[in-house]
Amino acid sequence: MKNLLGSSVKDLENVAKDYGQAAFRGRQIYNWIYNYRNKKKNIDQIEVLPLDFRKKLKDDGFKVSELSILERNLANDGTLKLLLTTNDNENIECVGIPTEKRLTACLSSQVGCPMDCKFCATGKEGLKRSLKASEILDQILFLENEMNRKVTNIVFMGMGEPLLNIDDLLVSIRSINEDFQISQRKITVSTVAIPKMINKLSAKSFQILGNCQFTLAISLHASNQKIRETIIPSAKNYKIENIIEDCKQYVKDTGRRVSFEYLMLNGVNDKLEHANELSNLLKGFQCHVNLIQYNQIDEVEFQRASQKNLQSFQSTLYRNGIAVSLRKSRGLDKNAACGQLRQNTKVK
C-alpha cells in the first residue's frame, strides 16, 4: 500500500511527474490532503485532478487514509472521542478537545500499550503493534473532518508509549509541523520514561527534525520510587532519580523545560508529605508540574483525589517554588480515559 499522507510537497510533485503529469498536480494533491475543509480524502475523490490520473493512482494502490471510524462519542463539554479501525482490524482511539481558541488532538502512537500502568485501561490487553506515521497522522484528519475545524495543538497522550515508536513518532512530528502547519511548540510528547530513551529522543529529534522544540512530558505520578513502582510496574527498571537527571540533561540539550504529569490518586500520592517530597525532587531546574484529576475507570480501584487535597497539593508546590497547574479532566461522561472506548467495544 502506498499512503500519500505524510508526503512532502516535493514527494507529491515527484509522484505526479512519475505519471507524466505536471508538478503542479502534486501540489494540488498536497493542498487537498491537508485542507481540513475537504471531507473527501479518497484518491478518486480529489476532484481537482484529471479523472484518468486519479484512476491510475487508485489502481496502483495509492491511498490517503487507512483508517475507518468504528464509533464516535461526543461528551457534553464538546470533547469528541473516536474509535478507529486499522487495515488489520485493530482499534485505536483519538480525542479532540475543543476550546474557543484551539482544538487539541490527543493521538495514539501504538495499538495498546506494553507499560501496564495500573490506573490506565489501555495496557490491560498489552501491546499489539506500533502505528505507522501515516496512521498517526490520519487521526488528525478524522478529528478535523468530524469537528469541522483545524487542529491547533497536538498531545501524544493517547494509547501507547511514544518512545517505543520513536522513528514513526518523529516522522509524524515532521509532517505535523511542516504539512499541517502546527508549530513544534504546540506539540507535547508524553512518556512513562524508558531508560536511555530520553537522551535518544533529543538526539534523534535534531537528526530528523533539525531541532527539538516540542514539549517533553514525563508521566511521573509519584514523589518517590516506592509509590511509582506500585502504580507503574515498569518503573522498577528506571529509578526516579535517574529520570530526573536525564530530564535535566534534556533541558540542557534542547533549551526546553520538561513537564511532569502527576495523576492525583486518593490516598496513594495526594498527601502534603508527597507534595513536599516532589518539590525536593524537582527543585533546581526548568520544569513544570501538571496535576491531573483522575478519570475513573471500572477496571481498577483507584479513586480521584478530593478537591481539598488537590488544592492543598497545588498550593504546597507553589509555595515551594515549583511551577504548577491543575489540568481538569474532559469528556467524563463519554469514556474519555485512555483505552476505555476500545475496551468497552471489545466487551460488547
Task: Please give the grid coordinates belonging to residue 156.
Answer: 501524544
Buried b (16+ CB within 10 A) or exposed e, 147-171: beebbbbbbbbbbbbbbbbbebbbb
Rounded distance between C-alpha atoms, residue 144 and residue 133, angstroms: 17
229 carries an active-site annotation: no
Residues 205/85/113/208 CA torsion (nearest 10 deg): -10
Provide the terminal-to-terminal Cα distance of the chain, rounded to the nearest Å: 31
Catalytic residue among 93, 135, 144, 161: 93
CA distances in angstroms from 265 to 107, 225, 294, listed in the order given: 24, 16, 7
Does residue 247 carry a catalytic annotation? no
Given 106, 117, 212, 338, which residue is catalytic? 338
d(CA 339, CA 50): 42
Cite the active site residues: 93, 338
